[in-house]
């Protein structure tokens, strides 16, 4: 049973489209995150939700909108995709100050 | 100044040697410290966590933390080719935010 699962694994889309990435965790963790890993492999936090409440919102274009229907799910919707949005997006979850568990990543390519 | 700094490498060590990976952080209020390993095309995998000053050993891995110097390191003993990966230092400060360094690429040569 995968602890943190995200779909799809690969996403290729044209500029201007709207797309969503889904994430689910079965670890019972209270906090979930979206991270973006760019071409230089730098992992940068985008959003964090604790029990469905947004607690971290880094400097991210408002084309990116997270949604947490319950504490086990955190989805990411991206409007009007741009070339610069191409990256690998990782979902993660954690409990208290413990280590994070990451999903397998979604490689987004905007053409 | 970056919040978490690492030398990007590559750090090349022969098989069987000790690999030493270093990391410094800027937030003195940081509370939790982690080392993640990331193979190419894969997600980061937690290998060590450390919360108080001193050393913590787990198998071939030893994490060292010095809060006064704002320094955390990872030693890998008896390095194996399978240890070749990027090692990410990560630090948790306020608001449960995990901030990563840019990673050090380790190459273990035969």
Read off the pLDDT of residues A31-61 as tens digits, 9 standing for 90 and up.
Answer: 999 999 998 888 999 999 988 888 888 878 9
Contact B108, B13 (CB under 8 A): yes
Nearest to A56 among B97, B100, B102 (CB): B97
Residues of A with CB under 8 A from a CB of B: 31, 33, 40-45, 48, 50, 55-56, 90, 92, 94, 96-105
Give the mean model confidence (pLDDT) for residues A95-109: 88
Would you tell me how many other CB atoms lie within 10 Å of the CB of residue A6?
25
Tokens of A37: 């890993």
Read off the pLDDT of residues B33-54 as tens digits, 9 standing for 90 and up.
Answer: 999 999 999 999 999 999 999 9
- Which of these, A7, A15, A60, A55, lies nearest to A31 by C-alpha position? A55
Q: What confidence tier does A97 reach under pLDDT thresholds 50, 70, 90?
A: low
Nearest to A31 among B32, B34, B96 (CB): B96
Q: Please name the residues between 89 and 108 in chain B that touch chain A, using a CB distance below 8 Å.
A: 90, 92, 95-100, 102-103
- Please count the residue pairs, one from chain A and one from chain B, whose beta carbons lie less than 8 angstroms apart: 56
Tokens of A51: 């029990």
At residue A104, φ and ψ (nearest 5 deg) are: -80, -5
Does pLDDT of A64 surpass 70? yes
The answer to whether A99 contacts B100, with C-beta atoms less than 8 Å apart, is no
Instruction: Say what percent of chain B tops pLDDT 70.
Output: 96
Q: What confidence tier does B96 reach under pLDDT thresholds 50, 70, 90?
A: low
Q: According to the model, what pLDDT value does residue A60 have? A: 87
Does pLDDT of B91 surpass 90? yes
Q: According to the model, what pLDDT value does residue B100 have? A: 92
Give the mean model confidence (pLDDT) for residues A19-38: 94
Torsion B82-B87-B93-B98 (CA) sign: negative
Give the mean model confidence (pLDDT) for residues A58-83: 93
Assess B49–A contact: CB distance below 8 Å, yes or no: yes
The residue among A96 and A26 whose pLDDT is bigger is A26
Q: According to the model, what pLDDT value does residue A53 have? A: 86
- As a whole number of angstroms, the distance between CA A64 and CA A84 comes to 13
Contact A26, A1 (CB under 8 A): yes
Does pLDDT of B97 surpass 90? no
Tokens of A10: 């690969």
Residue located via tokens 């990391």: B23
Mean pLDDT check: name the lowest of A23-32, A75-84, A90-99.
A90-99
């Amino acid at each position: 049973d995968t602890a943190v699962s995200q779909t799809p694994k690969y996403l290729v889309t044209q500029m201007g489209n709207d797309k969503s990435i889904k994430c689910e965790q079965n670890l019972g963790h209270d906090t979930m995150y979206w991270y973006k890993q760019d071409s230089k492999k730098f992992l940068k936090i985008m959003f964090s939700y604790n029990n469905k409440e947004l607690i971290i919102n880094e400097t991210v274009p408002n084309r990116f909108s997270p949604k947490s229907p319950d504490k086990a799910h955190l989805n990411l919707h991206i409007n009007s995709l741009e070339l610069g949005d191409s990256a690998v997006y990782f979902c993660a979850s954690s409990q208290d100050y413990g280590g994070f568990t990451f999903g397998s990543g979604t490689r987004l390519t905007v053409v | 100044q970056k919040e978490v700094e690492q030398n990007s490498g590559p750090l090349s060590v022969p098989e069987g040697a000790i690999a030493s990976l270093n990391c410094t952080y800027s937030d003195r209020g940081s509370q939790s410290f982690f080392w993640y390993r990331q193979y190419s095309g894969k997600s980061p995998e937690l290998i060590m966590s450390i919360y108080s000053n001193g050393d913590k050993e787990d198998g071939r891995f030893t994490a060292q933390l010095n809060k006064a110097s704002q320094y955390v390191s990872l030693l890998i003993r008896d390095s194996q080719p399978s240890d070749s990966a990027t090692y990410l230092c990560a630090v948790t400060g306020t608001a449960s935010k995990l901030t990563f360094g840019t990673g050090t690429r380790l190459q273990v040569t035969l």
